[in-house]
Chains A and B, each alone.
Chain A
C-alpha cells in the first residue's frame, strides 16, 4: 500500500498499532462465510491493505482523513464476525476498533449506557443486571458488539418482545463520517447528554441505521448510548458447569417462569404469539425448531446425532418457549394467569419435558442471556450455517407464510444430503417484536464449509427461497441476500430493489454521495454512489 499513508498511520497510532504483514492480515481475511465468496476455505478474496487499531475517536478521524487524502478505501469493524466485516475489494484499510472498548457510563436513573464499539452484549448485560437493568442481547450471540448492532447491522433477540428492537434502542450516537467529519446525533449533538437519539440535535437515525444498517458503508460509529430496561430478575444467574447441555442454574429465579407451549398448527401458534405480544406479559420468547434443537444442542456432535434419532420424535412440531419475569411474585402470578388464558383460547398445550429442570435451565439462560447456545446450535454440527430469511420482518400472518415457504423449499435440498438433515425444521427466532405488531423468523441452514458442494447447495437454496418470497410479494430478507449477492458479485440492493414497490436506491445513493463525497467508506454491503456498470 501507499508508504506515505502507512507512515501517517504509524505516526497517528504508534507502530505497534498498525500492520501490513501478510500473515497478520490473513487473520483479517479469514472469515465465517469466506467460503461463499472465495476459495473453498475461509479466506475471502480480498486481503486488507493494512490493519489499524485506533483507540480514540480522534484517531479514527485521523485515519479516515488520511484515507480520503490518499484515495484509500476504509472499513471498520468492532468484534468483526461475519462476511460483513471483511473488505469488498483490494486495497482497503481496516479499522479494528478493539481498543475502543470502554463502557463509558451506565446511567441508572435515566436507564441507558454509553459504550464504545468493542463493548460486547455480555459485558453490558452483566453490568446492567447487577444494577437491576437489562438490555437486548441479540441472537447472533453475547460476543457481538452492542454498538455495531445498534448503529450498523440488524440483529434480533429473544427479548425483543419486552425491550423492543435495537434499531429503536440506540439513543445518542457519535459518528465519524466517511470524509472525517465528526457528527453527534441526538442530544449529544447539542451537548445535552446521551439520553435521546432524536434531539435536541440532528436526528439521522433513519439514514444511519434504518432497519438493517449500512454495514460500514457510511463511516465509523465511535460511541453510542443504548437504552436499558427494568429487570425484575436477580443480579446474577449463577450456574454450574460450562457446557450448555450440562449447565444448571444454582437457583431458579423466584420471579421467573418458563412456558413451553405447543400447538396443532402454525396458525394457532402465531395467534397465541400475537396475544402474548398484545398482553405485554412476556420477557422473552423464542423459537428453536426441533430439527435445530436436536442437531445443535447435544453435549457434542455424537450426542446431537443421538438426540436427532431418539429425542426428535418426542418433540411436538409447533412449539416455542416463553419466559415470564415478574417484578414481584404477584406480577408473576398475573403473567401466569394471562399466559394460561391465552393457551386456553388458542388450544395450546404445555410441553412439560422442556419446562422441567435440565432443559428449563438451559432455555432460561438462553432466553435471558443467549450465551453460547445460539452459536453452538448452528456451528457445531457442520461447521457453518447461514440463515434463510435472515431479515424477514413481517406484519401479522406473514410469519406462517415465510415459515411454510422456507420449509417446503429446504426439504428437497435436504434430500440431496448436502445440508444437515433437520427435517427442514431449523428455525430460530424471537417470533414477535415489540408487543406483537411485527413478526420475525429466520431458518438456520447448516452446511459444511469444507465440502464445496454443500456450500453451493446453501447458496442455491438461499437464492431459490428469496426468489420464492419475491414471487409471493413478501419481503426479501436483506441479511440472507447480502451474502448470496456477494457470492454472485452483485450489489445487495441492486438484487433486492427490483422486487420492491419503489426504487429506493435513488435516495440511498444520494445519501451515500452526500455523506461520502470521495467514496472512501467500503460499501460492499451497502450501496455504491453510482450504479455499477
Chain B
C-alpha cells in the first residue's frame, strides 16, 4: 500500500473530531474523556486523526510540501489507533491510522527521517533488536530454565520473548516467570534463544516497512522448521505485529498465535494453572494498545467500493471495519479475577478506547517528554479509581510507566499480570 491507495479514504474524513474522544456514551468524567495523546498534548487540529488525514491529502495533492513542522507532527503520534476506533463508530471508509502510518512510510521513502529512529533501525540491522544490544545475548534471560531450543528440538509451543523482555533486566523476572508458568502447566515449550529476532513491528511503526518484511520472512521460516502448533508471546507489540502487521503486508503465520494472557486464561480454565495470589491488592488493568485494539486480527482486503441504493457505498467483497472489537480484552480480566487477594477495578478508558501508555510509534525513542506525559496521564487515571497498582501485559507499557514514575520518585506500583500470577 502507499498513500495513493488511500486516495478515496482521504476524502471521507468529516472533520467531526470524534477521533479526539472516547466513545461518547462511555464518558464518565471530563478529566478522562480524551482518547488521543497527540492532540491532547499539542492541540493543533493537525495532530488529531482527522488532521493527519488532511495533511496526507494536502501532501498527496501537492497543496503543501514537507516541512520540519509537518514532519514533527507526523512523528509525534504513538499510532495507538484510538482515533480509528472512534472514527469507525461513525464511518468505515476513512482510515486515519493507516493513513498516519503511510505518511511515515512516505517520510522514510523521501528521506525525512528522525535521527533517533535511524539509531533504532541501525540497531535492528546490526543486532536484530531496536536497542543495538548484542544478538548473542538475546537468549540469556532463559538461562537455567530448561526450555527446549526450537532450532534443534521439536516443541508444541514456540515462546517468542520479544526484544523488550529479552534485554530489559528489570523485566526479566516477568519473562522467566511466564516461561516457568508454561512449564509448570505441562506445556511442551521451546524458544529460539539467541536466534530469535525482532518482530519488526517497531520498524514498521516508524515507517521502515522493508525492515519488517525481512523479520516476517525469518519468523515464518523458523515456525515451519519447528513444526509447532502455537506461537505464544508475552510481548503485546510482537502480538500486534503477528496479528495485524504481517497480514497487512500479506505475510501470514500459519500457526495459532496467542498472547501469554490468552494462554494463561485457557490453562486456568483447564485447571492446568492455579493462580497463587499474594497479599491483598486493589489493582486496575491497563489495556495495551497492541494487545487490545491493535491486536485485532487484520483481514486483508483487495476489493472495490460499489454503489447500492443510489449513493450508499458498500465494499465488494465485504471488508473488515477495524474498531478494535476483536482485540484481547477478556483474558487478562479473567486472570485478574481468578487471583486470590486481588480486587480488580476498571479505569474509565478501557478496552477498545483505552488510553495509550505513550511508548509506541517511535515516540518513546524520539520524544521522551511526550512519551512520559502520556504515561503520567494514565497513571493519574489509575490513581483516580483508587488502585494500589496498575497492571499491564506489555513490557513496553511497563517500562514506560516505570520510567515516568521513577523520574518523579513516585512509588506507585506497576506490575505485569504474570507477576501477580506468580504471587507478588
List chain A positions with a Cβ less than 8 A from chain B: 17, 19, 21-24, 26-32, 41-43, 51, 53, 79-82, 96, 98-99, 103, 119-120, 122-124, 126-127, 130, 141-143, 236-237, 239, 241-244, 247, 295, 299-302, 304-305, 308, 365, 369-372, 375-376, 379-384, 414, 417-421, 446-451, 454
Contact = CB atoms under 8 A, between A and B. Distances in A.
A371 B59 CA distance: 33
A372 B90 CA distance: 6
A302 B314 contact: yes
A380 B92 contact: yes
A313 to B, nearest CB: 14
A24 B46 contact: yes
Given A32-B16, A119-B30, A143-B18, A24 B55 contact: yes
Given A375-B14, A420-B309, 19 more contacts: A17-B43, A19-B69, A22-B64, A32-B16, A42-B13, A53-B44, A80-B17, A126-B27, A126-B29, A141-B18, A247-B25, A302-B318, A305-B309, A308-B309, A371-B23, A371-B25, A372-B24, A382-B313, A420-B312
A32 B67 CA distance: 26
B270 interface: no
Contact of A376 (B57, B61, B90): B90
A308 B63 CA distance: 39
B311 interface: yes
A124 B317 CA distance: 42
Contacts of B54: 26-27, 29-30, 42
B211 interface: no
B310 A126 contact: no
Those 10 A-B pairs whose CB atoms lie nearest each other, nearest first? A30-B54, A26-B58, A142-B24, A27-B46, A23-B64, A421-B310, A123-B30, A27-B51, A22-B64, A122-B24
A283 B364 CA distance: 48
Contacts of A127: 29-30
Contacts of A301: 92, 312-315
Q: Which of A24, A103, A127 has the most CB of B within 10 A?
A: A24
Contacts of B43: 17, 53, 96, 98-99
A375 B16 contact: yes
A448 B311 contact: yes
B121 to A, nearest CB: 25
15 contacts: A22-B63, A23-B46, A23-B59, A23-B65, A26-B63, A27-B51, A80-B15, A120-B33, A239-B26, A242-B323, A300-B92, A308-B312, A371-B24, A414-B310, A450-B11
B262 to A, nearest CB: 20
Nearest to A143: B17
A194 B281 CA distance: 45
A30 B15 CA distance: 8
Contact of B8 (A19, A124, A369, A450): A450
User: Would you call the interface of chain A mostly helix, strand, loop, or mixed?
Assistant: loop
A81 B15 contact: yes
A244 B8 contact: no
B45 interface: yes
Contacts of B351: 242
B321 to A, nearest CB: 5
Contacts of A98: 43, 45
B92 A420 contact: no
Interface string B292-316: 0000000000000000111111110
Contact of A123 (B33, B53, B353): B33
A369 B25 contact: yes
Given A242-B26, A418-B310, A449-B12, A41 B21 contact: no
A141 B16 contact: yes
A24 B69 contact: yes
Interface string B64-86: 11110110010000000000010
Q: Which of A28, A43, A381, A446 has the most CB of B within 10 A?
A: A381
B36 interface: no
Contact of B25 (A120, A237, A448): A237
B15 A32 contact: yes
B18 A372 contact: yes
B352 interface: yes
A24 to B, nearest CB: 5
Given A17-B43, A81-B17, A365 B65 contact: no
B44 A372 contact: no
Interface in B331-355: 351-353
B311 A419 contact: yes
B16 A23 contact: no
B89 interface: yes
B33 A126 contact: yes
Contact of A382 (B55, B311, B321): B311
B85 A23 contact: no
B407 interface: no
Nearest to B89: A372
A28 B309 contact: no
Contacts of A42: 11, 13, 15, 54, 57
A448 B51 CA distance: 21
A19 B45 CA distance: 11
Nearest to A376: B90
B98 to A, nearest CB: 17
Nearest to A241: B325
Contacts of B313: 301, 381-383, 448
Contact of A122 (B21, B64, B73): B21
A143 B24 contact: yes
A143 B21 contact: yes
Contact of A27 (B26, B55, B312): B55
B287 to A, nearest CB: 13
Contacts of A247: 25
B30 A41 contact: no
A160 B23 CA distance: 23
Contacts of B93: 383
A421 B33 CA distance: 36
Nearest to A94: B45
A271 B33 CA distance: 41
B24 A369 contact: yes
B104 to A, nearest CB: 15
A419 B313 CA distance: 11
B311 A447 contact: yes
Contacts of A381: 311-313
Nearest to A369: B25
A375 B89 CA distance: 9
Interface string B154-196: 0000000000000000000000000000000000000000000
Given A23-B70, A375-B16, A450-B12, A242 B308 contact: no
A480 to B, nearest CB: 18
B102 to A, nearest CB: 15
Contacts of A239: 25-26
Contacts of B15: 30-32, 42, 80-82
A244 B24 CA distance: 11
B406 interface: no
A237 B82 CA distance: 22
Contacts of A236: 28
B91 interface: yes
B309 A120 contact: no
A407 to B, nearest CB: 15
Given A30-B54, A99-B43, A143-B24, A305 B308 contact: yes
B16 A27 contact: no
B28 to A, nearest CB: 6
Nearest to A368: B25
A44 to B, nearest CB: 11
Contacts of B46: 23-24, 27
A376 B91 CA distance: 6
